[in-house]
Amino acid sequence: MTLRIALAQIPVEHGKPEENYKKVAQYLSKAAQAKTDVVVLPELWNTGYDLARLEEIADVEGQRTKEFLQAKAQEYKIDIVGGSVAIKEHEQFYNTTYIVDKQGKLISEYRKVHLFRLMDEDKYLAAGEQKNVFELSGVKSASFICYDIRFPEWLRTVAKEKLSVIYVVAQWPQTRIEQWKALLIARAIENQIYVGMTYNRRFPGNFDLPLGFGRDGQFSPARAHYALHQFENRALLIRVPCQRYRIRPRFASVQRLTVYFDCESQTQSAGLC
């Protein structure tokens, strides 16, 4: 089978949930019009990285987000990998992914396991502990959030469950885009599965991500082929053949692979994260 996946490259508004819910609704509508099987949203699309205001703007118990995604999935008959949102639960805040099928059923959720200390995530967020394996459109899959991909053992532990697709949602800085590509390609090759990813094209703060553009891609594990696109205010539609080990590459070949680093063992001054 061939899976049609829409990777939504959304310009998330920093600390403005109301605007962000409206934007996501628009993207989901466009994806449905394109006859998409699965839509993938970026990391922290409800609040952006406004971590200092989570008490004010986080989604309490994820209730609003779950109802929103379930209603849209059922309305448009599409599966949704719900990026991630900031939620408040039991007096703690989590970076949480919700997976909703086309019948509007919440089938899985995931809390970011590896918190990125250089962005002070550990000061504001609590870490998750559970893996996230699910089936969408008849394809066994898993999802991860951003910094998780720097830990190959964690992905390998999950991928051993005979997955076909891994979804990665993120907010990743332009200054480290080469690491981003290298990590995703490596994870695809190591686990011999497809990796689809998306992230916020508007990343405020001390990171050099141009506000006008973002990047999405989809990597083939067999020969490290990839598609890398810059675009503004739209989603990238990719087609993934999901038979394991029978890959038909359709994208430009990668000539070099950058070595990745485990940031937990590096110093902050090294700038490798």
Q: Is 146 a catalytic residue?
A: yes
Evaluate whether 7 touches 218 at the Cβ level (below 8 Å).
Answer: yes
The catalytic position among 43, 109, 121, 273 is 43
CA 166, 167, 169, 174 torsion-angle sign: positive
Q: What is the spatial distance between Cα 112 and Cα 93, in angstroms, rounded to a whole number?
A: 11
The catalytic position among 66, 72, 112, 181 is 112
The catalytic position among 13, 72, 146, 273 is 146
Q: What is the spatial distance between Cα 227 and Cα 204, in angstroms, rounded to a whole number?
A: 25
Q: Is 43 a catalytic residue?
A: yes
Q: Where in the sequence numbering do the catalytic residues fall?
A: 43, 112, 146
